[in-house]
């Protein structure tokens, strides 16, 4: 680890007596974003926010921290991953764990009856990081949620379509949406003989089936969570079912136990409706109805889903690799990317907040989807870099001055004046921060910025009120450019840029 002494105060006199130790790093599970990574990530944000707007979404922004009590009791076993702020007097606060709970708080607090909102922002989880898999402690979520009372499965189908449109528009086509229904899952647990109060903890055991084989999960259900062998086996029969919406729907529709279970049947009839809408949106082929999907969060009440790709699963020899890992700081060697987008229906969360605040009870059903940008980034980075040489800056024009001799000033204030004219016209413009710079240094700086055009102040030409406009780049090396009137410079530059 890098660690050394830090001058504790900028004042040099004090620094000598007062040295502090400092590690020059970002906190565990976080990183700086810069250069082309930043350009790619911004492009992902832009694609997704355009998608959300395309579906009528409006955006909101909530604080990074919430009152701790707002987050309490929403995340099941994962609550231990919440970052708390130190008690420095005043309110006790925690960093947000997701954007869903703050959204429900916002809807309840402002008595909102319906909204389609999107929110792109950072969330925080004190989890084991796996940085190269895009699993971080500080990461972005890009959420789209629909709140309001609507007909069964209508917003749900659109949210699933948004999931498909989002991933495909980011160039990811080889994904599956694993989908299940909490009511069907609850029905299955009832059928298997799980008591109501045990349902969530058995559900979170089942949720591990994407990482662990059934035998391990079964052991957790029986030994750790006190269910009978028979109950576990019954659960095992159901959770191994998966296939298209239609296939699994048909199997369950012929299952005597399901037919006799009210909860399961209610979920199953919603699935039947969803099939029609999924066909209208042509998204059926992306969906795998998978009864092993449980999702950890407490607040889901209906459809649940997550998008996975080949990279989502851990390597097959994960447990071997884990043993060999030299550090437990980062799990990238032995975990998968996990789900790259996920969500579900949560019909009680807003009302929970409304009642808790003394407002009158109002059911505001909600459903949403969250895209995991860093995980998606880890999948598409390679391709994005290959596809396009990303321009390092937005700079369009480099203002240069060429001259020499004893009386040569370097025309710095003059370059500044020309730059100012171009800025005022909205044109991205730079020049080197040097009174006298030789042509080579100026061309090098322009090349580094990736800009296509130079405006050159020649020592004599400038005195005659003329500026030279020249294309940059290897293929224009022999081209001397065009000499134009100084007062026409903005027009000429705009014209040349429009031709590029």
**Residue 151 in contact with a copy of itself, rule: CB under 8 A:** yes
Alpha-carbon Rg for the chain, nearest whole angstrom, is 30
Which stretch in 52-60, 207-215, 263-271, 477-485 sits in contact with a copy of itself by CB under 8 A? Answer: 52-60
List the one residue from 216, 259, 260, 280 that touches a copy of itself (CB under 8 A).
Answer: 280
Which residue stretch of 47-55, 370-378, 460-468, 471-479 sits at the interface with a copy of itself (rule: CB under 8 A)?
47-55
31-65: buried (b, 16+ CB within 10 Å) or exposed (e) per residue? beeeeebebbbebbeebbbebbeeeebeeeeeeeb
User: Is 429 a residue that touches a copy of itself (CB under 8 A)?
Assistant: yes
| Residue 480 neighbours by CB under 8 Å, 6+ apart | 468, 470
**Footprint of a copy of itself on 440-479 (CB under 8 A):** 449
77 lines the binding site for a copy of itself (CB under 8 A) = no
Mask: binding to a copy of itself, 281-300, rule CB under 8 A, as x and -? xx---------------xx-
CB of 133 to a copy of itself, least distance (A): 18
Q: Does 5 bind a copy of itself (CB under 8 A)?
A: yes
3-class DSSP state of 467: strand
- Residue 121, both tokens: 């922002």
Which one, 51 or 308, has the nearer CB to a copy of itself? Answer: 51
- Does residue 97 contact residue 82 with C-beta atoms inside 8 Å? yes
Interface pick for a copy of itself out of 40, 98, 133, 155 (rule CB under 8 A) = 155
Site string for a copy of itself, 174-203 (x = CB under 8 A): ----------------------xx-xx---
Q: Which of 46, 72, 226, 473 binds a copy of itself (CB under 8 A)?
A: 72
Q: Which of 59, 113, 173, 233 binds a copy of itself (CB under 8 A)?
A: 59
Instruction: Flag whether 145 is marked binding.
Output: yes
**Residue selected from 16, 405, 406, 433 as contacting a copy of itself according to rule CB under 8 A:** 433
8 binds a copy of itself (CB under 8 A): yes
Which structure tokens are listed for 238?
């159901």
CA 201 to chain centroid, in Å, comes to 28
Q: Which stretch binds a copy of itself (CB under 8 A): 103-111, 171-179, 377-385, 463-471?
A: 103-111
Burial group, residue 456, by CB count within 10 angstroms (0-12, 13-18, 19+)? buried
- Asked whether position 500 contacts a copy of itself by CB under 8 A, the answer is no
Number of C-beta neighbours around residue 467 at 10 A: 23
To the question of whether residue 179 is assigned a binding role by annotation, the answer is: no
Smallest distance, a copy of itself to C-beta of residue 456, A:
17
Residue 120: both structure tokens together: 């792109």
**Contacts of a copy of itself in 331-370 (CB under 8 A):** 346, 348-349, 352-353, 355-359
The residue among 253, 274, 284 whose CA lies nearest residue 187 is 253
Partners of 366 in the beta sheet?
A: 147
- Among the listed ranges 27-35, 258-266, 334-342, 373-381, the one in contact with a copy of itself (CB under 8 A) is 27-35
Quick check: 28 binds a copy of itself (CB under 8 A)?
yes
Binds a copy of itself by CB under 8 A, chosen from 6, 272, 318, 321 = 6
CA–CA distance, 167 with 310 (Å, rounded to integer): 14
Q: Which of 441, 448, 442, 488 is nearest to 469 (CA)?
A: 488
Q: How far apart are CA 208 and CA 373, in angstroms?
A: 23
Confirm or reject binding of residue 31 to a copy of itself (CB under 8 A).
yes
Q: Is there binding between residue 392 and a copy of itself (CB under 8 A)?
A: yes
Is 47 known as a binding-site position?
A: no
Please, what is the Cα angle at 500 between 465 and 441, to 5 degrees? Answer: 60
Binding range to a copy of itself, per CB under 8 A, among 58-66, 400-408, 469-477, 481-489:
58-66
Q: Any known ligand binding at 141?
A: yes
On whether 125 is known to bind a ligand per the annotation, the reply is yes
Q: C-alpha dihedral over 200, 65, 99, 49, to 10 degrees?
A: -170
Q: Which of 46, 67, 113, 310 binds a copy of itself (CB under 8 A)?
A: 67
SS3 state at 179: strand
What is the β-pairing status of strands 366-372 and 287-290? unpaired
- When asked if residue 328 is in the footprint of a copy of itself (CB under 8 A), the reply is no
- Cβ proximity to a copy of itself, 308 vs 399, nearer residue: 399
Q: Is 188 left (phi over 0), alpha (psi -120 to 50) or beta?
A: alpha
Applying CB under 8 A, which part among 25-33, 225-233, 306-314, 464-472 lies near a copy of itself? 25-33
Q: Within 325-476, where are the H helices? A: 349-356, 373-387, 412-424, 439-449, 459-463
Q: Which helix (H) or strand (E) holds 147?
A: strand 138-147
Distances (CA, A) of 161 to 143, 144, 452: 14, 12, 40
- Candidates 67-75, 207-215, 217-225, 250-258: pick the segment binding a copy of itself (CB under 8 A): 67-75
Q: Which two tokens stand for residue 144?
A: 């789209």
Residue 54's nearest CA partner among 147, 172, 144 is: 144
Q: Minimal distance in Å, beta carbon 250 to a copy of itself?
A: 20
Number of residues that bind a copy of itself (CB under 8 A): 125
Among 40, 44, 74, 291, binds a copy of itself (CB under 8 A): 74
Contact 431, 415 (CB under 8 A): yes
Place of tokens 């400038």: 462
Binding residues are: 98-100, 125, 141, 145, 295, 299-300
Binding residues for L-histidine are: 98-100, 125, 141, 145, 295, 299-300
């Amino acid at each position: 680890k890098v660690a050394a002494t830090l001058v504790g105060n900028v004042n040099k006199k004090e620094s000598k007596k007062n040295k502090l130790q400092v590690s020059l790093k970002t906190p565990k599970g976080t990183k700086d974003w810069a250069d082309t990574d930043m350009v790619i990530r911004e492009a992902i944000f832009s694609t997704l926010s355009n998608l959300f707007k395309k579906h009528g979404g409006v955006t909101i922004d909530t604080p990074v921290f919430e009152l701790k009590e707002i987050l309490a009791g929403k995340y099941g076993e994962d609550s231990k991953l919440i970052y708390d702020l130190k008690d420095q007097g005043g309110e006790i606060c925690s960093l947000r764990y997701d954007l869903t709970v703050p959204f429900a708080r916002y809807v309840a607090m402002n008595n909102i009856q319906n909204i389609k909102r999107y929110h792109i922002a950072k969330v925080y989880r004190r989890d084991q990081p796996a940085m190269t898999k895009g699993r971080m402690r500080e990461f972005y979520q890009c959420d789209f949620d629909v709140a309001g009372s609507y007909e069964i499965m209508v917003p749900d189908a659109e949210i699933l379509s948004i999931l498909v449109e989002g991933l495909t528009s980011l160039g990811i086509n080889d994904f599956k949406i694993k989908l299940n229904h909490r009511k069907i899952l609850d029905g299955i647990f009832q059928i298997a003989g799980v008591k109501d109060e045990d349902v969530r903890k058995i559900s979170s055991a089942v949720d591990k089936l994407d990482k662990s084989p059934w035998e391990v999960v079964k052991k957790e259900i029986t030994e750790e969570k006190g269910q009978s062998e028979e109950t576990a086996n019954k659960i095992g029969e159901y959770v191994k079912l998966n296939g298209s919406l239609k296939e699994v729907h048909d199997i369950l529709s012929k299952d005597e136990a399901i037919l006799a279970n009210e909860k399961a049947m209610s979920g199953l009839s919603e699935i039947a409706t969803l099939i029609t809408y999924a066909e209208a949106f042509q998204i059926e082929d992306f969906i795998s109805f998978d009864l092993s999907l449980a999702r950890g969060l407490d607040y889901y009440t209906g459809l649940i889903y997550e998008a996975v790709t080949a990279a989502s699963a851990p390597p097959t020899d994960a447990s071997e690799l884990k043993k060999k890992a030299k550090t437990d700081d980062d799990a990238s060697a032995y975990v998968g990317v996990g789900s790259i987008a996920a969500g579900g229906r949560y019909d009680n969360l807003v009302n929970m907040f409304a009642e808790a605040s003394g407002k009158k009870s109002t059911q505001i059903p909600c459903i949403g989807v969250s895209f995991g940008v860093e995980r998606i980034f880890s999948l598409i980075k390679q391709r994005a870099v290959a596809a396009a040489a990303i321009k390092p800056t937005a700079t369009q024009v480099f203002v240069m001055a060429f001259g020499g001799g004893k009386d040569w000033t370097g025309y710095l204030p003059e370059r500044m004046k020309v730059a100012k004219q171009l800025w005022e016209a909205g044109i991205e413009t730079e020049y080197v921060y040097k009174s006298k710079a030789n042509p080579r240094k100026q061309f090098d700086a322009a090349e580094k910025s990736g800009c296509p055009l130079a405006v050159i102040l020649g020592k004599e030409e400038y005195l005659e009120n003329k500026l030279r406009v020249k294309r940059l780049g290897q293929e224009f090396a022999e081209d001397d450019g065009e000499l134009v009137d100084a007062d026409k410079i903005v027009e000429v530059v705009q014209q040349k840029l429009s031709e590029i």
